[in-house]
Structure 1
Amino acid sequence: MNGTAIALDIGTSGIRGQLLDLGARKVIRTCITTRNPIPGCNVMDHMSFAIQYGQELAHQILVDAIKQIISKLTSEPLIRIAVCGNPIQLSLFEGIDIRDLAYAGDNKLKIEGVKRKDRTGHIADGKIIGMPGVQIIIPPAVRHEIGADALAMMLKSGFLDDDYCMVTDYGTNAEMALKVKDKIYTGSAAAGPAMEGQQIGNGMIAGPGALSDLVRTPQGWRSKVLDERLFAKDGPVLNIRSDIAHNEGLAPEGITGTGVVALVYACQQDERVIDSEISNGSVRITRKIKFSTEDYKEAGKALGAIRAGHLTLMITAGVNPQDIKKMYMAGASGTYVDPVKAKAVGLVPPDSEHVIQVGNTSLELAKDLAFNPDMLAELEELRKKLVTDHIMFASCDTFRDLYTYEFGYWNDGMPLNRYRRAMERYGVEGYLDRQTPTDVTRVCDTDIREVGESLDILDISPLMSSSWDCSGCEKCVRGCPEKALSYSEGTFKIRTGHCLGTSCQRCQENCPEHKFDYSAFKMNA
């Protein structure tokens, strides 16, 4: 078939879109955003915003951003759009009630009068996003809690072909799965935005100018900075111990998630971390870019959540961690991070001898569906065959216990020996200390396997506005930590993608007249 289509990966921290030539079966161009447009830092924030302020509003915000991406990619008519993402993002995109995803357990659903929604794979009409006549291809969720992104992670990585292995899509919402013979255990850790370079002082997503790694050399730590094609090039050389930076090579504009992991590793290796604090102030990268104690602790929350998630799956499955010899790493962070450093800071199980970095599997599945919509039937059959046991970390005592130790270690200076004793109690002693050689296979050089003729990066942030009778003191504006709120000529405006949403609300709390009403904001016409 001739014509064009769009493949979309709707991620928690950003959206990636590709324009496809259906006849030639190739990528024409790529466009990515620096953030998800819905207010909040993670998937739980997005869900909370939608439930508290209206799922229709969240749908409008997401669709507005996606239309901006599409208009950047093409002005020509489209045959179809194929999407992939977690159940919450895809439900908000399609305008489906998400309350059945918000509550754990059937009893709570019954009390609230909420029925589970059908999330099998299907083809919808483009009218759901204001583009009638365009086919919308929506892949199935394995179960209500296990989305199409997790299915993509398992299907496009090679994970399903092994007997004992793990796979993780490293990001704000870290999807993970453990395979023990024919049984699959899955979980999803709300790791927070540090894995995508957000909520870090000088953080940014994986894009041109992002510091993505550090490599030890005789002169110091050579930084690696992504160029316009997202390939890692040499940047400044850092001496972590003496805090001296030699500015040479490609200048970094910020730090992405994998760069955060590399900095955590380097600080630990060069003994700059004492009791969860970076000694002698921040690590200097350039005159404007630094890595602070606050950044280290924010990163620790993400690293700790992922390690606690991996351990929870293995403990629940009753499997010896030393049997897990293979690890698949997916997503942008899973592609650019150094697996050796990742293993040292807890992102990869210590006994994994073979690590395979597979790139953005969610976008790859969306692309497959755009080229071949008949693949939906194959995915449905695969979904039915998968025997899965999903662990809800939010209500899992094992995860809560392990994450308490992780938080204490990364943020409160808790001695590692206390965590070691907990490992013994769970029967996984030695987990924190074992070191094994790591054989690395990179399936692709960049997380997006093919970008086409161009790559555009957009800071898309739809606007909501509202107004009311107040003094206009602007304490709400000055108190916004992300500078997402503005005031002009009697109207307040919020850049939704920059707003922290329900996890913040400082604008409302700072109003001395108690007139600020977040719920009054609506999308700009």
Structure 2
Amino acid sequence: SRELDLEESIPNSKIYIMPGISAYVGSDITAGILSSGFVEDSGNVLLVDIGTNGEMALKKGDRIFTCSTAAGPAFEGGNISQGTIARSGAVDHVWLNGKDIGFSTVNGSKASGICGSGLIDAIAVMIGAGILTESGRIKGEYFELEGPAGIVRINKRDIREVQLAKAAIRAGVSVLMDRAGIETRDIDRILLAGAFGNYIDPENALRIGMLPNVPVERVSPVGNAAGLGAVLAVLDSGIRERAENLSNNIYYVELSGRKDFNEIFVDNLALREG
């Protein structure tokens, strides 16, 4: 606690570090598994935490398989021409109302860019409106969101970045499903963790093929599962004991060891349900 300068504010405090699973699947997944009801669920459950790395865990019976895939920063606004984090003015949702396309921004402020949840919505809307093909080809040089809140453009390169990010996530899920010996129809629940997972529209995430094509009612956001898991670990020593035991009994799948990963990745570039 001295190293963290906590002695003055919290004298004699103790620091507990939640155990990680591997070098690429950290303690945030351990915490999320413990706080989300993942282990207690009797079905086949997929937990996905989407960031620059897409970390995920799949439970079948009493076995848990995990992996991490390099999704890139697109869903956090990185490498996107007008990309931004979900701050004031970011386009956070896009919808198709008949022939009209509408959008909202964080805090209703003037549009300053587009964040991950808005990107997923925009791609799904563009496909629904016939502006974008499943292969990623767009009519014209860019797609423009224009309204009272301002103007935001999405260009061809932005669409490609989204394709690469969503393909990496979906490919990682496919490998876990293969390792667990289950198919899409066998997945009972998909839990979306983190701030991004809490705000994306599950229907649109399914529509662009980011997640296995289960009925949308099987997809649920679980908010900041890692943060809640950390709080539970502070309050309950039993949770800490479970964390230690859990991290030693999870099977980590190294994607770079799969000779077919690149093929699976390419197969998931298309913007379609699957």
- Counterparts of residues 136-175 of structure 1 (less than 5 Å): 136-162=15-41, 163-175=43-55
Residue of structure 2 in register with 1:185 after alignment: 65
The AA in structure 2 aligned to 1:294 is: R
Residue of structure 2 in register with 1:201 after alignment: 81
The AA in structure 1 aligned to 2:240 is: L
Aligned length: 262
Match of 1:359 among 223, 246, 270: 223
Residue of structure 2 in register with 1:391 after alignment: 253
Q: 1:186 to 1:148 in 2, by over 3 A?
A: same
Shift of 1:204: 0.8
Kindly report the root-mean-square deviation, in angstroms, between the aligned alpha carbons of the 2 structures: 2.3
Q: Conserved in 2, the CA contact under 8 Å of 1:206 and 1:332? A: no
Shift of 1:334: 0.8
Residue of structure 1 in register with 2:176 after alignment: 313
The normalised TM-score by structure 1 is 0.47
Match of 2:116 among 235, 252, 257: 257
Shift of 1:380: 3.2
Residue of structure 1 in register with 2:195 after alignment: 332
Residue of structure 2 in register with 1:75 after alignment: none
Q: 1:159 to 1:398 in 2, by over 3 A?
A: farther
Partner of 1:174, secondary structure, is: strand
Shift of 1:252: 1.9
- Counterparts of residues 384-463 of structure 1 (less than 5 Å): 384-385=245-246, 387-407=249-269, 409=270, 432=274
Residue of structure 2 in register with 1:281 after alignment: 141
Shift of 1:251: 2.6
Residue of structure 1 in register with 2:204 after alignment: 341
Q: Conserved in 2, the CA contact under 8 Å of 1:312 and 1:398? A: no
The AA in structure 2 aligned to 1:388 is: I
Which whole-Å CA distance do the structure 1 matches of 2:79 and 2:47 have between them?
25
The AA in structure 1 aligned to 2:267 is: Y
Q: 1:126 to 1:393 in 2, by over 3 A?
A: farther
Q: Does 1:378 align with 2:239?
A: yes
- Counterparts of residues 44-83 of structure 1 (less than 5 Å): none
Residues 296-325 of structure 1, C-alpha deviation per residue, up to 9 Å, x if partnerless?
Answer: 000111110011111111111111221102
Q: Conserved in 2, the CA contact under 8 Å of 1:172 and 1:193? A: yes
Q: 1:211 to 1:140 in 2, by over 3 A?
A: same
Match of 2:90 among 210, 214, 235: 210
Q: 1:296 to 1:132 in 2, by over 3 A?
A: same
Question: % of aligned pairs identical?
Answer: 28
Shift of 1:377: 5.4
Which whole-Å CA distance do the structure 1 matches of 2:263 and 2:76 have between them?
25
Q: Conserved in 1, the CA contact under 8 Å of 2:117 and 2:200? A: yes
Q: 1:278 to 1:363 in 2, by over 3 A?
A: same
Shift of 1:362: 2.0
Residues 64-97 of structure 1, C-alpha deviation per residue, up to 9 Å, x if partnerless?
Answer: xxxxxxxxxxxxxxxxxxxxxxxxxxxxxxxxxx
- Counterparts of residues 489-504 of structure 1 (less than 5 Å): none
Residues 230-255 of structure 1, C-alpha deviation per residue, up to 9 Å, x if partnerless?
Answer: xxx5xxxxxxxxxxxxxxxx432211
Q: 1:126 to 1:138 in 2, by over 3 A?
A: farther
Which whole-Å CA distance do the structure 2 matches of 1:405 and 1:218 have between them?
32
Q: 1:304 to 1:328 in 2, by over 3 A?
A: same
Which whole-Å CA distance do the structure 2 matches of 1:364 and 1:255 have between them?
28
Partner of 1:311, secondary structure, is: helix
The normalised TM-score by structure 2 is 0.86
Residue of structure 2 in register with 1:488 after alignment: none
Partner of 2:79, secondary structure, is: coil
Shift of 1:202: 0.6
Match of 2:130 among 253, 263, 271: 271
The AA in structure 1 aligned to 2:32 is: M
Which whole-Å CA distance do the structure 1 matches of 2:182 and 2:104 have between them?
37
Q: Does 1:298 align with 2:152?
A: no
Partner of 1:289, secondary structure, is: strand
Higher relative contact order (CA 8 A, sep 6+): 2
Residue of structure 2 in register with 1:443 after alignment: none
Residues 183-213 of structure 1, C-alpha deviation per residue, up to 9 Å, x if partnerless?
Answer: 1111111100011122111111122221111
Q: 1:376 to 1:298 in 2, by over 3 A?
A: farther
Q: Conserved in 1, the CA contact under 8 Å of 2:21 and 2:252? A: no
Q: Conserved in 1, the CA contact under 8 Å of 2:99 and 2:129? A: no
Which whole-Å CA distance do the structure 1 matches of 2:26 and 2:58 have between them?
16
Q: Conserved in 1, the CA contact under 8 Å of 2:31 and 2:243? A: no
Q: Unaligned 5+ residue runs, structure 2?
A: none
Residue of structure 2 in register with 1:226 after alignment: 106
Shift of 1:145: 4.5
